[in-house]
């Protein structure tokens, strides 16, 4: 199993940007499809973005498409989530996840390993 540690969260004004990082250890991240999920207070965890292994195809939720970009650097065992044009509704704890499956999926059950999360707060 791979261990995941997120970083880069914080407080930002609406319209601003943040870049989240997810560092993998234990096993090489290149073996895994990687995803980002988020959970706002009182809400269920929801899918944000995913990226495949090998070809680095990407998949986004409709709510972040065009504003967020997921990428990966397998040489650094790190996955990133660049978040631009942040909105109040983006406030949540963001989780990185890794899954040993082919493709890029929004189904959390396909992900075997999860990080502890990093808080993103967007203020007006």
pLDDT in tens, 52-102: 998 999 999 999 999 999 999 999 999 999 999 999 999 999 999 999 988
Which pLDDT does position 26 carry in this prediction?
80
More confident residue, 7 or 54: 7
Which pLDDT does position 103 carry in this prediction?
87
The mean pLDDT of 33-41, rounded to a whole number, is 96
Is residue 45 scored above 90 in pLDDT? Answer: yes
| Alpha carbon distance 57, 45 (integer Å) | 23
Residue 87 has a CB neighbour count (10 Å cut-off) of 14
| Alpha carbon distance 39, 19 (integer Å) | 17
Is residue 27 scored above 80 in pLDDT? Answer: no
Exposure string for 26-35, b = 16+ CB within 10 A, e = fewer: eeebeebbbb
Q: What percent of the chain has pLDDT over 70?
A: 100
């Amino acid at each position: 199993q791979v261990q995941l540690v997120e970083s880069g969260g914080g407080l930002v004004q609406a319209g601003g940007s943040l870049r989240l990082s997810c560092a993998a250890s234990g096993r090489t991240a290149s073996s895994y499809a990687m995803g980002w999920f988020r959970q706002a207070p009182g809400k269920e965890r929801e899918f944000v973005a995913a990226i495949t292994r090998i070809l680095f195809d990407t998949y986004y939720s409709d709510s972040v498409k065009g504003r967020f970009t997921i990428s990966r650097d397998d040489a650094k065992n790190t996955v990133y989530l660049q978040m631009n044009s942040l909105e109040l509704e983006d406030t949540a704890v963001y989780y990185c996840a890794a899954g040993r499956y082919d493709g890029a999926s929004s189904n959390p059950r396909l992900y075997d390993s999860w990080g502890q999360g990093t808080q993103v707060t967007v203020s007006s």
